[in-house]
Chain A
Amino acid sequence: MQIAAFIVRRAVHSVVVLLGLSMVIFVISRILPGDPARVAAGARAPDWVVDNLREQMHLNDPLPVQYVYWLRDAVQGDLGLSLVTRRNVAQDILELFPATFELALYAGVMMAILGVGLGAVSARHKDRWLDNLVRVLSYMGVVTPSFVWAILFLLVFGFTLGWLPTLGRLTEGLQPPPRITGLYTVDALLTGRVEVFWDALQHIVSPALALAMGSIAQQARITRSAMADNLGKDYIAALRALGVPERVVMNRFLLKPSLIPTVSILGLDFAATMSNAFLVELIFNWPGISRYGINAMLRKDLNAIAGVILVLGVVFIVANILVDMAVAYLDPRIRLRTARGR
């Protein structure tokens, strides 16, 4: 019950946040230099074509009026016309969002498993060579941008070793599975197309790992640090003195409370991955929303800019809510505070 109330409260807050976000993005995108209608129509299009386009997009109206038009349509699921693709932005986003979401999902799984795993190993072997090795690798992971990892993986796995594909979501000539969720690996499994699942999985490994590398390193550092702190606490010494097996001490009594900061960061990292994926999408020719958003900004595609940022805003909010719920699950004190309505 408390969880339901919590979700409703957060949902209401989210609407306010999204409204504010939409206003900020709307204003910023419209004060950028360049006439979007002229950019879309081309330098040599006659003025009347540009004027028609401006009229069609309400660009001649005052900014508040434009915003009201946009908001009115947006709540009905109409995000307006993209000046680049000349389709409804909502249609573009629906087509591209699953690709980036799937990428982020796999990156998230890698972040969680590899980040926490490496952190736990590091903490368990604190100040020994394994710990030092993980720390060095973590530093490398944190300081190296995802596009460098992407190029590295492309060249190593795609070129030198030839193990993994280099381009897109599926091998050329292979038909995508019938769309259910838009996530190829999921849809392929749901429709029993194992060969497509396998192919899609091979395509997603390199870009997802490239996206996850920075966060894996960060999760490893945070997990190690939290576990190392808790390792010196009295309750751990007491458990060991009572003869509780080391595996149980580590997994049940040390790792779980140490995961709270990791989970908080992981949720935000997952959401950030969605918006930061553009270079990785560019390198792997991944048809995602992040690349679409950057192209929209470069071409001053107003509605596409607003639409993409709004959708990514929703992802951030949902990720935050999920993180809060996960933290409440991990930390009984937070559950108690929620129950008391604090």
Chain B
Amino acid sequence: MPRPLAALIPVLVLVLVAACAAPQQPSAPAPQQAAADAQGAGPATAPETQVLRVSFAWPTHIDPAMGSDFSSATALANLYDTLVFPEPDGGVKPWLAESWETSPDGLTWTFRLRQGVRFHDGSELKASDVVYSMERLLTVGEGFAYLFTGVVERVSAPDDYTVEFVLSQPNGLFLPSLIRLYILNEDRVRANTKAEGPYGENGDYGQEFLQTHDAGSGPYRVVEFPLEEYLLMERFEDWWGEFVPNAPDQFRMIAATEPATVRTLMANRELDISDQWQPIESLEALQQIDGVEVAAFSNMTGFYFMLNNRLPPLDDLHCRRALSYGFDYDTAVSLEWPGTTAMVGPVPKALGGHNPEVMTYPYDPEKAREELAQCRYADTIQDYPIEFVWVSEVPDEEKFALLFQANMAEIGIPVEIVSMPWLSVVENTSKQETSPHLVSIYVSSDLPEAGPLLKQRYHSSTAATWSQNEWLLDPELDAAIDDALATLDPEERFAKYRAIQADLAERAPSIFVYDQVEKHAYQSYVDWPAARGEVIPVMGYNLWAPAIGLDR
């Protein structure tokens, strides 16, 4: 070996050993960090700065016209204000909008805005910003835009503090949907809009800028957002709302869900709240760490075995009922985290308008056999093996497939288990001819009431999406759902939801497995409302940092 290289070996070994042996210490802030430090940096630079660290699944989209998944919704709720704010009981309360009124025909909604609300750059939030935000959302069409597309006909600002929405038809969900209209600072977005882009005179509509910056007025603002690593937000001291006394100075959303990583971070107190994707075994291990607890609460998500109602033998009601009676729900629930309960009907129990009185199918193999005997495929059932598709990216689903297969073997129904990548599931369920017999899947409601989920799961307009495999294509059911959604009075609307659920439950279009609970490990020094049972049943709002206290 050449001498210079040989001489390098001990040096490199020494460096590596020293690196290993050196105790980790907080590093001194670099001069380049002055700006970040002025706004409050991490514990390495300023021990008094309280940072809330939560792990999330990448990617996170912080453009209000793009993000709609869990991590994006969490970030958006912290960066932006909305006209109304969700409440634990499923309703909404005034937020940027101090009051509102509706025209007698239910088509015109007028909101009076709070005065003196400041954006992160210090400018005042005006009605024109609300108009711009809605128009931008509708034009881009992604994220939560579907809540307003075809609903909002036009929006205007009669004065600086009044916004008027005109709807194309009465819509009972319009008001709760406004928790997803994040108000942008029009001037800031326009100043950072690229002239070239797919939106005509609006260029790229500020999309490139809003991928990594915010233009909001919310309680936190973006400090840095390195790709695939983390999103760091800091407290906006001029926010008009109230923080709890020990609310975090910074909120760091870390892009890490690997169980070994999360476990190490939690044990080292480098993570305060885990993501919701940790498997049961990981949560059990996390719970063994001193000072770590697990919070579990309902999150408006149902776990379904979606049956293709058009494909033999499942086009026969009695066969579908045989499957429903033949499945062992208690065992399925026991495979999940404590607190999980079997579904009652087509929507989770936490949703407004849930009907607890619907027909149910408790595990009863004898009754399953009776139903099977009435099915027109009873004699030839062996010729129709049920293809059970589970999403290969969610390995926890396999145990339910195996349980189903074992249960069905007891009553003589053959089942073939297929593990399928998510993209193939999306592709196959988009066409009736390629939809399998059964797909096991989790589906969440966008809003805390039953209507949106019923539409998503059983309405013909959403038949060609992954969120249903049933292909009911029933005009009467569609009309009933549309009618319920158009009903402004909540009580009346909920009554209509309940009637729809009763009808659906009798048809046994799906196997309603269990209401999912959202599970997070968290440090006991985190004073977290959701862990105390004060759950806001809207995705993203349980990690709304102004309400979370840190008592390290």
CB-defined contacts of A59 to chain B, threshold 8 Å: none
Task: Give complex CA distance A302, B58 in Å.
Answer: 18
| Binding-face segment, B128-136, B255-263, B272-280, B341-349 | B255-263
A250 to chain B minimum Cβ distance, whole angstroms, is 9
CB-nearest residue of chain B to A114: B13
Asked whether B38 is an interface residue with its Cβ less than 8 Å from the other chain, the reply is: no
Asked if B142 contacts A85 (CB within 8 A), the reply is no
Asked if A34 contacts B20 (CB within 8 A), the reply is no
Residues of B399-427 contacting chain A, CB below 8 A: 421-424, 426-427
Asked if B208 contacts A166 (CB within 8 A), the reply is no
A34 to chain B minimum Cβ distance, whole angstroms, is 3
Asked whether B7 is an interface residue with its Cβ less than 8 Å from the other chain, the reply is: no
A95, A158, A165, A178 interface centre (most CB from chain B within 10 Å): A158
Asked if A159 contacts B22 (CB within 8 A), the reply is no
B539 to chain A minimum Cβ distance, whole angstroms, is 14
**Cβ contacts A70-97/B at 8 Å (1 or 0 each):** 0000000000000011110000100110
A312 to chain B minimum Cβ distance, whole angstroms, is 17
| Binding-face segment, A17-25, A194-202, A231-239 | A194-202
Asked whether A311 is an interface residue with its Cβ less than 8 Å from the other chain, the reply is: no
Interface residues of B, count at CB 8 A? 78
> Which residue of A45, A167, A173, A300 contacts B44 across the interface (Cβ within 8 Å)?
A173
A286 to chain B minimum Cβ distance, whole angstroms, is 9
Contacts A95-B227, A167-B256 given; indicate if A45 touches B146 (C-beta within 8 A).
Answer: yes
**Cβ contacts B419-439/A at 8 Å (1 or 0 each):** 001111011101000000000
A288 to chain B minimum Cβ distance, whole angstroms, is 8
| Binding-face segment, B25-33, B78-86, B353-361 | B25-33
**Cβ contacts B185-218/A at 8 Å (1 or 0 each):** 0000000000000100000000110010000000
Task: Give complex CA distance A290, B12 in Å.
Answer: 26
A278 to chain B minimum Cβ distance, whole angstroms, is 11
CB-defined contacts of A155 to chain B, threshold 8 Å: 260, 264
Asked if A41 contacts B142 (CB within 8 A), the reply is yes
Asked if B423 contacts A154 (CB within 8 A), the reply is no
Asked if A285 contacts B424 (CB within 8 A), the reply is no
CB-defined contacts of B24 to chain A, threshold 8 Å: 162-165, 171, 202
Asked if A172 contacts B142 (CB within 8 A), the reply is no
Contacts A166-B264, A175-B30 given; indicate if A33 touches B146 (C-beta within 8 A).
Answer: no
Contacts A42-B142, A157-B20, A158-B268 given; indicate if A87 touches B208 (C-beta within 8 A).
Answer: yes
Asked if A166 contacts B261 (CB within 8 A), the reply is yes
Asked whether B282 is an interface residue with its Cβ less than 8 Å from the other chain, the reply is: no
Asked whether B222 is an interface residue with its Cβ less than 8 Å from the other chain, the reply is: no
Asked whether B529 is an interface residue with its Cβ less than 8 Å from the other chain, the reply is: no
CB-nearest residue of chain A to B143: A42
Asked if A173 contacts B423 (CB within 8 A), the reply is no
> Which residue of B15, B30, B150, B207 contacts A86 across the interface (Cβ within 8 Å)?
B207
CB-nearest residue of chain B to A150: B260
Asked whether A283 is an interface residue with its Cβ less than 8 Å from the other chain, the reply is: yes
Asked if B424 contacts A196 (CB within 8 A), the reply is no
Contacts A34-B426, A96-B227, A166-B264 given; indicate if A45 touches B142 (C-beta within 8 A).
Answer: yes
Asked if B265 contacts A174 (CB within 8 A), the reply is no
Asked if B258 contacts A282 (CB within 8 A), the reply is yes
Asked if A159 contacts B20 (CB within 8 A), the reply is no
CB-defined contacts of A242 to chain B, threshold 8 Å: none
Asked if A198 contacts B22 (CB within 8 A), the reply is yes
Extra pairs beyond A42-B143, A201-B15, A291-B228 (4, CB < 8 Å): A158-B268, A159-B264, A193-B30, A287-B228
CB pairs A–B below 8 angstroms (27 shown): A33-B421, A34-B426, A34-B427, A35-B426, A42-B142, A42-B143, A43-B467, A44-B456, A46-B141, A46-B150, A48-B141, A96-B227, A154-B260, A154-B264, A164-B19, A164-B20, A165-B24, A166-B261, A167-B261, A172-B42, A174-B27, A195-B28, A196-B27, A198-B22, A283-B261, A285-B256, A287-B227
- What is A's interface to B at a CB cutoff of 8 Å? 32-35, 38-39, 41-46, 48-49, 52, 56, 84-87, 92, 95-96, 109, 113, 116-117, 151, 154-155, 157-159, 162-168, 171-175, 178, 193, 195-196, 198-199, 201-202, 205, 251, 255-256, 282-285, 287-288, 291-292, 295, 298-300
